[in-house]
Amino acid sequence: MVRIRANRRTVLLAIGIVTPLGILMVNLSAFVMAHLAQFRLLIAACALISSLVLNGLVVFWLIGIARRRQTRFYTEYPELVRGLAAIAVVGSAAVAAYLTYVGMRDPRQLPNLIAIVASLLALLIPFGVAFLGRLL
């Protein structure tokens, strides 16, 4: 009986919190859309930072695996591996930021396919590489 009351309180609390948060999010979204030209660069910068972090974490993880397993290519060319990894991380983050910036140019064309694809790739590439790395 006590557990049912606790669950009921939790559900009521969640309902009570979700509505005001939803109202705030809708109003914040409307403000951003009204001032998209000003927010466009900030959103692209956030995409750049996010991609750098996600891709960087995956690359550090993959380099750690290569170091632990003493793979032949890594042991012979560790600087080259790290350099190529850095170029891949920075390059993919720059592409994600650019596509986000381009995709946000016109609020009347949102949702924009370019921005959606860039966001999906920014999420799927690091997780896909991590998944493939675990398989291999």
pTM: 0.70
Nearest partner of 119 among 48, 17, 21, 68, judged by Cα: 48
Q: Is the dihedral of CA 68, 71, 77, 81 positive or negative?
A: negative
C-alpha torsion 100→127→73→49, nearest 10: 40
Task: Quick: pLDDT tens for 39-81.
Answer: 889 989 998 998 899 889 888 888 888 888 777 887 888 888 8
Distance CA 103, CA 118 (A): 9
Q: pLDDT by residue (tens digit) across 108-128?
A: 877 778 778 878 887 888 788
Q: Tokens in use for 65?
A: 């695996």
49-60 pLDDT per residue, tens: 988 998 898 888
